[in-house]
Amino acid sequence: MDRYVVFGNPIGHSKSPMIHKLFAEQTGQSLDYSTLLAPLDDFSGCATSFFQEGRGANVTVPFKEDAYRLANSLTDRAQRAGAVNTLSKLADGTLLGDNTDGAGLVRDLTVNAGFSLTGKRVLLLGAGGAVRGALEPLLAEKPASVIIANRTVDKAELLAELFCDLGPVSASGYDWLREPVDVIINATSASLTGDVPPIAESLIEPGQTLCYDMMYSKEPTAFCRWASEHGAGVVMDGLGMLAEQAAEAFFLWRGVRPDTAPVLAELRRQLAL
């Protein structure tokens, strides 16, 4: 039976084994998927050992950049992201690195929410790895503009420069922005501590703006609460992104794309327990 794992540290909380088990049952695929706690100081050794037998792996914090360095070849989107969250062992035994995070975000927005990003004004909050992984797939949707806002503007400017060949992307400080936008995506970890990036409420056009938090929790995140309080038209957390990036990895490994709707419903049900 083909073996797959998710590498992380910590990793016990991961929902990936349940997600891929449901995908496998739904698609009739025979595979074994489990968690693997990789040592912080030897991801490479741990992964190399696993891939003597294993077929594929997901990679979560803090190892996505380690996986990027370990891969023998990279997809274009992984190259752009500078990080890898999916590893596949090819027929010749080498490792292909991919990044499905941005694709998962875009699919959650465009398929699950039915929201077209074409011609829209998109604001990304943060300038870390999550934003870097999202930029290529977002720009491929042909938005009117993408603004990267960050506390340290230099970091946002660097990302804007790296991706400017793909579309209209610019950098900003949080407090520079006042005009309403169509989409606000919180890619910071502020919700983990119950905080919200310091942005103006005027960025939300009541009843219209879609607000998306890459984080998720049992209760609405701090950013989702803030968005609802200020009249956002649509408010979403990142649970759908989690399911969609996993489905993209499953498709890469097995050549079949699972239906995420029942899996997302089960994730939501378990989260509410």
Catalytic positions, written as ranges: 64
Distance of alpha carbon 150 from alpha carbon 158, whole angstroms: 11
Residues in contact with 262: Cβ distance below 8 Å, sequence separation at least 6, in sequence order: 22, 26
Residue 171 DSSP label: E
Token pair listed for 263: 């899996």
Q: Which helix (H) or strand (E) holds 4?
A: strand 2-8
What is residue 10's DSSP assignment? S
Strands 169-172 and 95-98: unpaired
Residue whose C-alpha is closest to residue 55's, from 100, 15, 19, 91: 91
Helix or strand (DSSP H, E) at 138: helix 129-140
Strands (E), 23-139: 31-37, 56-59, 73-74, 86-89, 95-98, 121-125
Q: Are 54 and 245 in contact (CB under 8 A)?
A: no
In contact, 236 and 210? CB cutoff 8 Å: yes
Assign 186 to helix, strand or coil: strand
The token pair at 97 is 């690195």
Tokens of 8: 């992380």
